[in-house]
Amino acid sequence: MIRKTRGGAKPAHEPHSDGGALELPEVSVSDDGEVRYLHLGTPWVQGSMCIKQPFEIDLEYVQRMMGWLMFAEPASVTQRHAMQLGLGAAAITKFCHKKLRMKTTAIEINPQVLAVCRSWFKLPPDSSTLQVVLADAAQEIKKPQWQGTVDALAVDLYDHEAAAPVLDSAEFYADCRNLLTEDGIMTVNLFGRSSSFDKSLAQMAQAFGEEALWAFKPTREGNTVVLAQRTPRALDAAALQAASEMVQVRWDLPTGRWPKVFGPAKDAGASTKAAKPKVAKATGASAKKA
C-alpha cells in the first residue's frame, strides 16, 4: 500500500563526484500513526522512526548495522567516533548520538533530507558532538581531516529506486578503510539480490581482505548487513553469544538471534542467493537509503 505523503520538498540539484550536476529526488514523509517513513520520490521506504520512541532503531536491518558493538569494549563506546554515509531518516545518527553518546558525524548529499530529518524525525541540531556535513560522500571521505578518526562507519548509500549501492567499488571501500581507526569497523547495508551482493562482497574483500569480513544472513526483506574490520578479529561461538547478550542488556537492541545469523562473510553468499527478498514499499519493512 502506498501511503499518502506529506512534507514533500522539490527536487534539488547538487554537484556530483563526476563533476556533473546530480538531480536529487523529491523528499516526502508518510506515517500510519505509529511509524513515520521517509521517501525519496518513490514509495520505497528509505528510513523510518517509531513516533513514540524517536531515538530507538525501528528497522531490523538498521539494528544489525550496530553489529560492530559486539567487537567493542563497552566502556570505550562513549569515547569513540561514529560516522554515517547517507543520512536516511537519521536512525543510526540519532542512536549513536543519543543512546551510545558518541561523537557522531553524518554525510548527506541532499539538503532536503537534512531539513526533513530535523523537522519530522527528531534529528537534533549540530553541536560539539553531532555534525551533519552536506557533501558528496565519495569526495568528503577523501579529506585528510577524517583519515583514521572513525571507529564505527555505517554505509547505507542507495538511490531513490533502492536497486543497488550508489558507491560500491574497491576504491570506495579502500577510502572507507582509510577512515577507520585500527580497531574500527565499517557496516554496510546490501540489498539481498545475489549478483549485487557477490559483487559488493568481492569489492570489499579487495579493500579489507576476506578474513576481515563478517555478515548477517539476509533479513526477511532481503537486507544483508556486512561488517568489515580495519584489523581482523574473530569471535568464537561462546564469545559471540556473550557479546550479543551484552549489547542487548546495555543498549536494549534485540540481539537474541544474532549468534544464529552472524558469521564470516564467505559463508553468507549461499544463504543470500537462497533468499527471496520481499521488497516492501511503504510498509516500513524494506529500506534503503540515499
Tens digits of per-residue pLDDT, 174-231? 999 999 999 999 999 987 555 678 889 999 999 999 999 999 999 988 889 999 999 9
For residue 18, the 8-state DSSP code is: T
Domain ranges for the chain, please list them.
60-274
Q: In what order do the strands lie in the sheet with 35-40?
A: 6-9, 27-31, 35-40, 47-50
pLDDT of residue 168: 84
Using DSSP's 3-state secondary structure scheme, residue 23 falls into strand
* Residues 143-159 pLDDT 10s: 999 999 999 999 988 65
60-274 folds as: Rossmann fold (3.40.50)
Using DSSP's 3-state secondary structure scheme, residue 206 falls into helix
| Start-to-end C-alpha separation, the chain | 22
Predicted TM-score (pTM) of the model is: 0.84
Burial of residue 220 (CB within 10 Å: 0-12, 13-18, 19+) is middle
Residue 238 CB contacts under 8 Å (≥ 6 apart), including other chains: none
Measured at the alpha carbon of residue 119, what is the angle toward residues 117 and 125, in degrees to the nearest 5? 70
CB count in 10 Å sphere of residue 168: 17
